[in-house]
Structure 1
Amino acid sequence: MSDVVTRWIAEDPDPQSRAELASLSADELADRFSAPLSFGTAGLRGPVRAGPNGMNVAVVVRTTAGLSAWLKDRCLGGSTVVVGRDARHGSEKFALAAAEVLAGAGFSVVLLPRPLPTPIVAFAVRRLRAAAGVQITASHNPASDNGYKVYLDGGAQLISPSDREIEAAIAAVGPAHLVPRSPVIPASDELVQSYLARVASLPRGTSRTVRIALTAMHGVGGETAVAALGAAGFTDIHTVASQFRPDPDFPTVEFPNPEEPGASDELLALADRVDADLALALDPDADRLAVGVPGPDGWRMLRGDETGVLLADHVLACAPPDPLVATTIVSSDLLEKLASARGARSARTLTGFKWLVRAGHGLVYAYEEAIGHCVDPDVVRDKDGISAAVVAADLAATLRSEGSTLLDRLDDYALEFGLHAGDQVSRRVADISEIGAMMQRLRANMPTELAGEPVRATDLAELRGSSRTDAVVLTGSSVRVVVRPSGTEPKLKCYLEVVVGAPDREGLGAARATARERLAVLRDFAHAL
């Protein structure tokens, strides 16, 4: 056993982690100590396991000590910091460790009272004018993972160069068992009640007649979502009982992500059984929302782009002058067209809400294709599945009172702007190096034609400034493909879109058939990378 491993074990404050490391083989230890977890999408994320390459008490203690030092370097010592958690494996002891380290460093710590949705931490940071917030969560990652998400003042996610600076501060932290810690008493429910009161004020319509089927996907959003919807006046709610209570093993789904095929099957079965008008699926930390609707061929989940444009139009109907709506480079072109027609501005950013909430002044709504929606950016500057669920219910109830549906509204957009049909191909890999190889092959042989029309290629890795990222965009007159590595999972993601005109409602069927054919060609291209 190397000196590095021996020293880490001796300095690990958690006896379970020490015992775990002592039991491992040389090869297993080499994996655990190959590299520390690094800051990615707003913080850390990785498997719950001992050693510097996992989520464990020692890593959380050292990370929090680095965050504390970084805050103090910016004259923020003694400020308020909010700490929250989901219900994943290890979340309770990780949150307590983070809170105690912050208290030991002299910060005023607000430790949320129980497992709660991630958006409540973002809300609390902004509400309390805190210097920072920490949420222990891995969102919709597999059950084996956990994470450490950081918000800065104003309640927006961490971005560069702050992440690199904090990482350097973490590297300078001494032994984890010597980091000072002080006891912390959990806060009351006051912040949760304030959040619920704000969310309940979001509906613009007068009707509350809508029947809702809802799943929490084994996460922490069920109780809060039902309370928020009820406070807003939506009381006809049916929940998926097998997925309502938090369960860190996510026993009924292979991946606890409403985007994954099959993940929402129990929800849609319930919606059909109770004759619901709307189906709502939260991811495990309730910062994302997927929407399901009944149609001529049965229930289906809307794509993130479909929900995004529906909610954008609903928010814009009551927005203040000169509003801004935003989405990302991988999302549909439809939002830009809708915004222009509604007298609003639109913006595109890199993927992630750390960029979306910084899209510009006058922001009233932002969404990303991966079912994230920010419907109240003045109060929660991040994606929020709970508030999005309330606004979606408001929209569904408003349309129902007018004798219309969400699918009818999407048909209206198809006639006004052309039918925008999208799809996504995710190439999950066992070896992360395969993603780089696929991107390299694409860059070495950029296509000049897709689905029967010329396309131009833009390599965003060659740009300078804030728009630079590891992605390739292929654009034609009516096709668009974006290829990029996932920021949170071992996947290469390909985002596909085609636009087909329809002369009238009778022509929508033919337009959809054409769109399916063209998307099939784009899928073949994505699978061949």
Structure 2
Amino acid sequence: MTITDPTDLHALAEAWADGDVDEETRTALRALMDGDDLALLTEHVGAALSFGTAGLRGEVGPGPNRMNRAVVIRTTRGLADFLLAEVPDAATRGVVVGFDARTDSARFAADTVGVLAAAGIEVRWFPTPQPTPLIAYAQKALDAAAAVVVTASHNPPADNGYKVYVEGAAQIVPPTDAAIAAAIEAVGPAREVPLVASEDLADHPKVAPVDAVVVQRFLQELEGARPPLPDDVARDLTIVYTPLHGVAGELIQQAFALAGFDDLHVEPTQAEPDGTFPTVAFPNPEEPGALDAALALARDLDADLLIANDPDGDRLAVAVPDGAGGWLPLSGNRIGVLLGSYLLDRTDASRPLGVRSVVSSPMFDEVCDARGARFEATLTGFKWIARAARELEVSDQRTFVFGFEEALGSTVGSVVRDKDGIGAAVAFAEMVALLHAEGRTVLDRIRELSVQHGAWVSHQVSVTRPGAAGQREIADAMALLSERTPHALGGLAVTAVTDYRTGADQRPPWLAATDLVECSLDGGGRAMIRPSGTEPKCKVYVDLRTALADDTDLASLEADQLALADRVGRDLLTFVGLQS
């Protein structure tokens, strides 16, 4: 609920400012109170950042609806109270804390450590910026009760966030998120929360840095999770890499060197961690222009492969030569299918398992099935992929080989129970090296898979509806699908409809009830519609499948299919009353 009454807003703002520990945000909030922009004040204090399965994420600024020291301190105290009450031996098992290179991350991380230590909880932390996969791994390696990563991943520079891992060294899922949120709600003003000052952390008996041996174990376990390349396969690829001003560069270079890839070139203008992201408007490798500098370097070097991570190192982006002098960026779906087939082809597991998010390409299911692997689809988010992997490793005696989601998230094996752009990057390079040794390219492999499993194309169409009125419009559109469903989309017959809002008791826990409706299409394709969980958007995901003959031009076929997929997506939006 958003509060808009001016009297209530000013009372809330005054109470928050009185309880704030930081002079800068306290002064900024009081300046808003003295101004005449009621709408802006409402944005800052009319609601509060909601703690959920992704933790917290939002713009940095004053007030309860922004990321700031007061929010971090109260959140950490709530987390500490939850751990001490619900997790056996939490105080001695401790919490791992890490952070990225965003402007406020080090300060927020120090406050996190300070609150946990003051609560009597052992803390092992990374005093310098580190990639998220390493921090998630450290929780597992140290058998810590939880981990906290201060990061906003690939969000705009003005944002920051607070990600929590608990059971199984994976991100939290319901009902844990609600329990932590309730504990946070019970915490008083930030000023009243016990806190070890940042200057005293180095000498505090509850606080110590994560030992360097953990980093080496991480790199060694990544090596062991991948199928070994034959000794006669050359690792002489010329590879261009960009961390997009993020924090994965040092570990990537170590991981590639350990795997025998010595010709790695880091894009110099984006090599150093920098939370202002000076060369990109939006530090997301999927965004237009984000890879321009790295692509220019790849062309200059006549490189074999371009690898990119997002700023916290948990996503993998790839581009490959297109055979005509240019470069082709690969979608998350294409990366997932390529890596999944490579790893499953070469695994020695007798009962392999592959997992994807429900909105990712069903082509992966065919890849798994053809290789004797069990495949599972989960709700969106790697926390669900990790849950499915962990549970099926026990209940079905499976070996988790690979998981992915279409938004550039991949993980190889169970080293990290989350997205891991570092291990996935090296695995992709090894796949390319093996292809080259066999006289093939990545494009050749895409064609082979398309002949074997059908030529799949994936496409997204979305509409933006901001504000409360927009939320109601999207909710009404989704509600319409409870009353009636389309008979055809883009000229393709709708053969079945699956409403994920119902029937959760007939599905595994990683496919719980969610606001998602799937229309199965004639020919084996589908269209899925859902509201975005992070933006004021309604999204449609379309996946189409068509047979590929040996003499058919794949690029032309895909162009035609993408045009059809766009019509399918727009028809579905039109059907629910949302014109794109």
TM-superposed CA distance for 1:8, in Å, is 1.7
Give the match's secondary structure for 2:288.
coil
Q: What's the counterpart of residue 142 of structure 1? A: 156
Q: What's the counterpart of residue 508 of structure 1? A: 554
- Tell me which amino acid in the other structure corresponds to 2:58: G
Equivalent residues in 2 for 1:34-183, closer than 5 Å = 34-74=46-86, 75=88, 76-182=90-196, 183=200
Q: Quick check: 16-25 or 489-498, which moved more?
A: 489-498
Work out the CA distance in 1 between the residues paired with 2:126 and 2:143.
16
Residue by residue over 1:225-277, the C-alpha shift from the partner in whole angstroms, topping out at 9 and shown as x without a partner, is 12211122111112222222122122222221111222222222222221111
Equivalent residues in 2 for 1:128-527, closer than 5 Å = 128-182=142-196, 183-185=200-202, 187=209, 188-201=211-224, 202=226, 204-206=228-230, 207=233, 208-297=235-324, 298-316=326-344, 317-359=346-388, 360-361=392-393, 362=398, 363-377=400-414, 379-431=415-467, 433-441=469-477, 443-444=479-480, 446-455=485-494, 456-465=496-505, 466=509, 467-478=512-523, 479-506=525-552, 508=554, 511-525=557-571
Contact 1:486-1:492 within 8 A present in 2 as well: yes
TM-superposed CA distance for 1:203, in Å, is 5.5
Q: Quick check: 140-149 or 213-222, which moved more?
A: 213-222
Contact 2:53-2:174 within 8 A present in 1 as well: no
Q: Quick check: 357-366 or 461-470, which moved more?
A: 461-470
Work out the CA distance in 1 between the residues paired with 2:468 and 2:540.
16
TM-superposed CA distance for 1:155, in Å, is 1.0
Contact 1:278-1:294 within 8 A present in 2 as well: yes
Work out the CA distance in 1 between the residues paired with 2:11 and 2:302.
64
- Tell me which amino acid in the other structure corresponds to 1:448: H
Could you say if the C-alpha distance between residues 496 and 267 of structure 1 is closer, same or farther in structure 2, counting changes exceeding 3 Å?
Answer: farther
TM-superposed CA distance for 1:9, in Å, is 1.2
Give the match's secondary structure for 1:327.
strand
- Tell me which amino acid in the other structure corresponds to 2:315: R
Q: What's the counterpart of residue 15 of structure 2? A: 7
Work out the CA distance in 2 between the residues paired with 1:435 and 1:311.
37
Q: Quick check: 79-88 or 438-447, which moved more?
A: 438-447
Residue 29 of structure 1 pairs with residue 57 of structure 2: no
Structure 1 unaligned residues grouped into runs of 5+: none
Contact 1:86-1:219 within 8 A present in 2 as well: yes
TM-score under structure 2 normalisation?
0.87
Work out the CA distance in 1 between the residues paired with 2:556 and 2:217.
49
TM-superposed CA distance for 1:189, in Å, is 3.1
Residue by residue over 1:57-93, the C-alpha shift from the partner in whole angstroms, topping out at 9 and shown as x without a partner, is 1110000000000011124233310000001121010
Residue by residue over 1:441-495, the C-alpha shift from the partner in whole angstroms, topping out at 9 and shown as x without a partner, is 2542632211222113322223334431011212113321112223333433221
Aligned residues: 528
TM-superposed CA distance for 1:429, in Å, is 4.7
Could you say if the C-alpha distance between residues 436 and 123 of structure 1 is closer, same or farther in structure 2, counting changes exceeding 3 Å?
Answer: farther
Structure 2 unaligned residues grouped into runs of 5+: 1-6, 203-207
Contact 1:447-1:457 within 8 A present in 2 as well: no
Give the match's secondary structure for 1:358.
helix
TM-superposed CA distance for 1:213, in Å, is 1.1
Give the match's secondary structure for 2:338.
helix
Could you say if the C-alpha distance between residues 314 and 301 of structure 1 is closer, same or farther in structure 2, counting changes exceeding 3 Å?
Answer: same
TM-score under structure 1 normalisation?
0.95
Work out the CA distance in 2 between the residues paired with 1:418 and 1:439.
35
TM-superposed CA distance for 1:209, in Å, is 2.1
- Tell me which amino acid in the other structure corresponds to 1:371: L
- Tell me which amino acid in the other structure corresponds to 2:560: T
Work out the CA distance in 2 between the residues paired with 1:218 and 1:460.
39
Work out the CA distance in 2 between the residues paired with 1:509 and 1:98.
50
Contact 1:142-1:256 within 8 A present in 2 as well: yes
Contact 1:200-1:229 within 8 A present in 2 as well: no
RMSD: 1.9
Q: Quick check: 135-144 or 189-198, which moved more?
A: 189-198
Q: Quick check: 500-509 or 8-17, which moved more?
A: 500-509
Give the match's secondary structure for 1:357.
helix
Residue 18 of structure 1 pairs with residue 26 of structure 2: yes
Work out the CA distance in 1 between the residues paired with 2:117 and 2:127.
16
TM-superposed CA distance for 1:336, in Å, is 0.8
Work out the CA distance in 1 between the residues paired with 2:252 and 2:463.
32
Residue by residue over 1:193-250, the C-alpha shift from the partner in whole angstroms, topping out at 9 and shown as x without a partner, is 3222333443521331211111111211122212211122111112222222122122
